[in-house]
Chains A and B, each alone.
Chain A
C-alpha cells in the first residue's frame, strides 16, 4: 500500500490541485502541489477555532460557505466582512493545518484517494511545502517525547491530582484552561474541541502537566481506553518498515519469551502505547496494569531524581 508520504510527494511533483482523502484520518487540500488546508476529526477545524473564540457565529460561517466560489473563496469573504484580519486568518489556518496534519500522517489503515479539483471552502490562505510538513510533524513528535516520554495519558481522560506535590505551581494560560476544563471524563482531544484550541497544543500542555506530576491516571482506564479516531497508532505491522525502530523485539518472537530491554525512552513510550491499544497482538510485552500507584511512583521517582541534579 502506498504511504501517505509517497502519495503526497507525487502530488507535489505533479503540482496537483484537489483533495487527498485519507479515510477516517482526514482530508488534505492541495493547490498547485502545495498543501493549503487540512482537516482531521482529531483536531478542531478552522471554523471551530473561530467559533470557539466568539469571533464569528456558526451562521456567518455557513453563509460564507454558501457564498464562496472559485473567484471569491470563503476566507476572503470573512476578511471582507471585517470579522478578522488577514493576518489572523492566516495564523488560524496555519495552526489548524499543522495541527490536523500531525494527527493525520501517523493514522494507519487508510487508502489515500485523490479527487482532482476539489477545493476547501476557505480557499488557499497559506502554502505549505510537503517536506516541510513532514519535518514539522517529526519535530513536534520529538518535542512531545522530550516533554514527557509516555503516551499513556494522551488518550485517557485528563484528571488533575487533588493535592499538588509542591508549595507553588506555575501554569501557562493553556495549562490553566486544561485544568479548569478537565472533568475527569474529557480526553485531551475532547478538551481541544471544547476549548477551541489546537489538539497538539492541548496534548503538549497535558504532557507538561504530567511531567510536573499534576495529573493522575484514572483508575482502571488503561486497558479499557479506546484509541480515538485518527490517533497515532503504534503497531509495528502498520508502520512503514523504514520507520520501524530496530531496537524492538520483532513481533514474531515466541509468546512467553522474556521481553528484551528496549533502547531509549521512545521504546518505553511505544511499549506503553502498544500495551494500551493493541492488547492481544503484542503478547511479548508485559501486560499493562491499570494501577495508578505504579505511575505515581514513577512520577515521584522522576521528580526526586530531578531534584538531585
Chain B
C-alpha cells in the first residue's frame, strides 16, 4: 500500500524519468511534485495539463460512437522527450493524474506504461 509521496518516488524511479507531478484534475491542483527541474512551475503545469486532459476527453467523446470515453493513459512525444499522463479514478474526487516527463534517449515507453499501471493498482484499490 502506497502513500502519495511514496508513489511519486516510485514514478521518479522509472528509468529515464525527469520530472513528475501528481495532479487533482478537477481543480487543477498540483498535489505533489518530484524531479529536479528548476524551471518547472508545478502549479501552472498542473492546471494546464488538467485542461489538456479535459479538452482531450471532450474531443474524444464527440468522435466516439457511444459518446462516452475513458482514458487509460496519454502519450505525448515532444522534441525533449516523452510525456505520460495517467488518470487514476478515485472515489472522492479527481481523477488523480500522474504526469511524468521521460528522457527520450534513456527511457522505454512500454516499461514506463507498465510501471505506471502497476503503481496505480497499489495506490488506489477500486
Contact = CB atoms under 8 A, between A and B. Distances in A.
Interface stretch (A9-17, A196-204, A267-275): A196-204
Interface residues of B, number: 30
Interface string A133-155: 00110011001000000000000
B125 A84 contact: yes
Interface stretch (B13-21, B26-34, B74-82): B26-34
Interface stretch (A58-66, A85-93, A254-262, A282-290): A85-93
Contacts of A95: 24, 92-94
Interface stretch (B55-63, B100-108, B109-117): B55-63
A49 interface: yes
Nearest to B7: A87
Contacts of A139: 28-29, 43, 47
A50 B93 CA distance: 11
B124 interface: yes
A168 B2 contact: no
B45 to A, nearest CB: 13
A91 B92 contact: yes
Most buried by A among B2, B7, B26, B54: B26
Given A85-B2, A87-B124, A168-B62, A98 B29 contact: yes
Nearest to A92: B92
B91 interface: yes
Given A143-B47, A168-B62, A170-B62, A86 B29 contact: no
Contacts of B2: 85-87
A55 interface: yes
A139 B57 CA distance: 23
A96 B22 CA distance: 17
Interface string B42-68: 010001000000100110011000010
Contacts of B36: none
A126 B32 CA distance: 11
19 contacts: A49-B93, A55-B91, A85-B124, A87-B2, A87-B3, A87-B7, A90-B4, A91-B4, A94-B24, A95-B24, A95-B92, A139-B29, A140-B27, A143-B27, A143-B28, A143-B47, A196-B92, A197-B93, A204-B26
- Closest 3 interchain pairs by CB? A53-B91, A87-B123, A86-B3
